[in-house]
Amino acid sequence: MTGEVYTPIEMIRKLISFDTTSRDSNLALINFVADYLSGHGVPSTLIPDPSGKKANLYATLGPTDVPGIVLSGHTDVVPVDGQTWETDPFEMVEKRGRLYGRGTADMKSFFAIGLALVPDFMAQPLAIPIHFALSYDEEVGCLGAPLMIERMGDLAAMPQIVIVGEPTNMCVVNAHKGVYSFHTTVTGLEQHSSRIDQGVNAVQYAARIISFLADIAIEMRDERNQPDSGFTPGYTTVHVGTVQGGTAQNIVPRECTFTWEYRLLPGEDPDEIKNRYDTLIANEILPAMHKVDPDTGVETEVRAMVPGLVPENGSPAEELVLKLAQRNATEVVAYGTEAGQFQSAGVPTVICGPGDIAQAHKPDEFIEISQIESCIGFMGRLKNVCIA
């Protein structure tokens, strides 16, 4: 094969140079990866989003009829808007033993290292295939991966293990909470505030719904705490993040919007809180609003529904990845990932990747070069497991 060759750091530099902010296309990066892989004799399949502006990429090194090991990563990054960076976020800069750039920690380094090692992986025949599963739109609600997960079993034998390379400092993570987030619009009826009897106050109805959610949050904390869950805090959290509404003090506000979320302990019913919210609106909020004006209402848009990662102690994924990462114990994390989506498809899944989540989403995001080296060691041991 006559494929291009990159060191891991050169590959990280290359991938950082693509501005793959979630709102924009990721196709330049995806096409680069597809071309690079094809240069090494590895075919890949692109699974586009409905608009055709973004795509997932799924590729198989080695046999397609044997259950393999998936290296999973998201190609998109969060915006740099409003952040002050010392250097160009889309140009990787090496200094003080660190690599700086948007996506160095979250999370291009993991799959960049895997990609740089493709010639190595392919040097000997693989008995167990290695897959790359690269997604779009992870940062805006894990919207891309499900389309790829649906197709995994058609593109090759269903994999036996998924490794999601989000930054864990190369620790092995086997659990995280689910993330369910929503955008609510309360539409009332505008009036001069001297005639509130003829208006429907969107801000005040929103406040009632918000205080209902806040009460659920307290109930979760006081009555549903599971101190042994390994999570901090050890209960499902409910939270309202933003509120906007009203135009002036002397106008009954016509509109109020708010965003809210719950982070669900794995194993809890994902619909419970949303059902309680829906019941409040149907039984109390809407009837009161409609008494004044039937055109008023409440609309709820789902922003993200990311299932939690349920710990599967002793699963093949856990056993293998503990060995590859040279660790003795698993951990849990507070953030959501695509891992629960892979697990929902029946594939044992853990999270293990280079870098620290503390650096993610921040200005001057970086990864320690020592983390890159640990990950290279991890990939080398993976190769030894997979060769015939």
- Residues serving a catalytic function are 76, 138
Listed ranges 107-115, 153-161, 189-197, 234-242: which one lies at the site for Zn ion (CB under 5 A): 107-115
From 106, 268, 318, 365, residue interacting with Zn ion (rule: CB under 5 A): 106
How far from chain centre, in Å, is Cα 364? 21
Q: Does the protein bind Zn ion through residue 320 (CB under 5 A)? A: no
Listed ranges 22-30, 103-111, 245-253, 351-359: which one lies at the site for Zn ion (CB under 5 A): 103-111
Listed ranges 36-44, 91-99, 101-109, 264-272: which one lies at the site for Zn ion (CB under 5 A): 101-109
User: Least separation, in Å, of the C-beta of 319 and Zn ion?
Assistant: 25
**158 touches 67 (CB < 8 A):** yes
Fill in the per-residue mask, 141 to 180: x = in contact with Zn ion (CB under 5 A), - = not in contact.
Answer: -------------------------x--------------
In the complex, which residue's CB is closest to Zn ion?
Answer: 106
Residue placing its CB nearer to Zn ion in the complex, 107 or 134: 107
Distance from C-alpha of 166 to C-alpha of 342, rounded to nearest angstrom: 14
Residue placing its CB nearer to Zn ion in the complex, 106 or 261: 106
Listed ranges 105-113, 226-234, 297-305, 365-373: which one lies at the site for Zn ion (CB under 5 A): 105-113
Q: Does the protein bind Zn ion through residue 107 (CB under 5 A)? A: yes
User: Least separation, in Å, of the C-beta of 20 and Zn ion?
Assistant: 12
How far from chain centre, in Å, is Cα 198? 45
User: Least separation, in Å, of the C-beta of 106 and Zn ion?
Assistant: 4
Q: Does the protein bind Zn ion through residue 112 (CB under 5 A)? A: no
Residue at token pair 């140009």: 91
Helix, strand, or coil here: 251? Answer: strand
Between the two ends of the chain, the Cα-to-Cα distance in Å is: 21
- What are the structure tokens assigned to 26, written together? 């990721």
User: Least separation, in Å, of the C-beta of 113 and Zn ion?
Assistant: 15
Distance from C-alpha of 43 to C-alpha of 34, rounded to nearest angstrom: 7
User: Least separation, in Å, of the C-beta of 18 and Zn ion?
Assistant: 16
How far from chain centre, in Å, is Cα 110? 15
Helix, strand, or coil here: 272? Answer: helix
Residue placing its CB nearer to Zn ion in the complex, 78 or 298: 78
Distance from C-alpha of 266 to C-alpha of 340, rounded to nearest angstrom: 9
Residue placing its CB nearer to Zn ion in the complex, 137 or 166: 166
Residue at token pair 């001057």: 364
Residue at token pair 């949303």: 274
- What are the structure tokens assigned to 132, written together? 């790359």
User: Least separation, in Å, of the C-beta of 380 and Zn ion?
Assistant: 24
Listed ranges 53-61, 104-112, 250-258, 323-331: which one lies at the site for Zn ion (CB under 5 A): 104-112
- Half-sphere exposure (CA, 13 Å, Cβ side) for 312? 18
**349 touches 214 (CB < 8 A):** no
User: Which amino acid belongs to residue 227?
Assistant: P
How many CB atoms sit inside 10 A of residue 204's CB?
Answer: 16
**84 touches 161 (CB < 8 A):** no
Residue placing its CB nearer to Zn ion in the complex, 106 or 137: 106
Residue placing its CB nearer to Zn ion in the complex, 24 or 284: 24
- Contacts with Zn ion by CB under 5 A lie at 106-107, 166
